[in-house]
């Protein structure tokens, strides 16, 4: 489930930012998977992506991997910000 962020100028609270703007599928998802595979894994990752496929890829990856997509919002500077939680 995604909850839109109403404040387009602010980024939500996070532990790690992955700025994958300018990179196409599957690279943003690979970066997200690597971030959560780290030891210790962050609790919240903010993925910034301007890849049109990310809008469907990120929710699908979260569903498959047991992660939670907390919100999506426009990213300052362009693209979309996806806030993903470990569980």
pLDDT given at position 10:
63
CA distance 49 to 10: 16
pLDDT given at position 5:
44
pLDDT given at position 11:
65
User: Domains plus CATH for the chain?
Assistant: 14-85 (3.30.110.40)
Cα angle value 83/76/84 (rounded, 5°): 5
Q: How far is Cα of residue 11 from the mean position of the Cα atoms in its chain?
A: 12
Mean pLDDT by 10 residues, the chain (87 residues): 45 87 98 96 96 98 97 96 95
pLDDT given at position 7:
47
pLDDT given at position 13:
78
Residue 6 Cα distances to 10, 60, 73, angstroms: 9, 23, 8
Question: Are 35 and 18 a contacting pair, CB within 8 Å?
Answer: yes
Q: What is the pTM of this model?
A: 0.85
């Amino acid at each position: 489930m995604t909850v839109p962020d109403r404040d387009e100028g602010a980024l939500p609270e996070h532990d790690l930012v992955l700025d994958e703007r300018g990179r196409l599928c599957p690279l943003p998802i690979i970066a997200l998977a690597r971030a959560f595979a780290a030891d210790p894994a962050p609790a919240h990752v903010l993925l910034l992506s301007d890849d049109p496929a990310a809008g469907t890829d990120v929710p699908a990856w979260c569903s498959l991997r047991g992660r939670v997509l907390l919100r999506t919002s426009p990213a300052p500077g362009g693209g979309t910000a996806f806030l993903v939680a470990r569980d």
